[in-house]
């Protein structure tokens, strides 16, 4: 018996993990060959947290394609936006204290998982609605980039 042939068994395992973790779990899996899907808590909205970084990066790259930004565009580093992040941005602030290029912030956000860089790029994007528009263009439904990690 394969686990994939027993969706009820998979659901029971996810419920067991929820209990062990003391957390809610959401899952949607698509079997590419058969098209069968498995959904667990698919009606619940979960914070996007780090997954929104790809959409922010896509939105930024789209803005570059449209000529609104370049990779060299300097983004102001606003002290009130600083939240939890890695020391990379702290070193940048010590270096010049005023701004970072779009390219360096993209690297920090995507490669170094820096939450501060994500917040600075989100500010450059403008509003969560702009990221939501990017989702819409990709036909991604039911994802809402309504908040940053600091607000969750």
Q: pLDDT by residue (tens digit) across 1-15?
A: 354 556 688 889 889
Instruction: Provide the pLDDT confidence category of residue 152 given band limits of 50, 70 and 90.
Output: very low
pLDDT value at 57 more than 60:
yes
Query: If you average pLDDT over residues 98-125, what whole number do you get?
Result: 90
The mean pLDDT value for 76-81 works out to 64
Q: Is the pLDDT of residue 63 over 90?
A: yes
What pLDDT shows up at residue 89?
Answer: 57
pTM over 0.85: no
**How far is residue 123's CA from residue 136's CA, in Å, rounded to a whole number?**
20
Distance of alpha carbon 27 from alpha carbon 25, whole angstroms: 7
- Residue 134 and residue 73: Cα distance in Å, rounded? 21
For the chain, where are the alpha helices, taking DSSP H only?
7-21, 52-65, 87-95, 102-110, 115-125, 128-137
Chain centroid to CA 146: how far? 11
Mean of pLDDT values over 92-112: 81
pLDDT at 1: 38
Q: Collapsing DSSP states into helix, strand and coil, what is residue 39?
A: strand
Q: Are 39 and 28 in contact (CB under 8 A)?
A: yes
């Amino acid at each position: 018996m394969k686990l994939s042939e027993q969706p009820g068994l998979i659901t029971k395992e996810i419920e067991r993990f929820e209990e062990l973790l003391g957390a809610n779990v959401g899952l949607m899996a698509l079997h590419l060959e058969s098209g069968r899907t498995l959904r667990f808590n698919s009606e619940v909205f979960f914070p996007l947290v780090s997954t929104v970084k790809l959409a922010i990066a896509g939105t930024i790259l789209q803005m570059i394609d449209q000529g609104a930004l370049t990779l060299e565009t300097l983004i102001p580093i606003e002290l009130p936006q600083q939240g939890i992040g890695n020391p990379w941005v702290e070193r940048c602030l010590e270096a010049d204290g005023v701004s970072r290029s779009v390219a360096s912030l993209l690297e920090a956000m995507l490669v170094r998982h820096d939450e501060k860089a994500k917040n600075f790029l989100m500010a450059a994007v403008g509003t969560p609605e702009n990221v939501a528009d990017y989702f819409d263009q990709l036909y991604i439904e039911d994802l809402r980039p309504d908040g940053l990690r600091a607000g969750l």
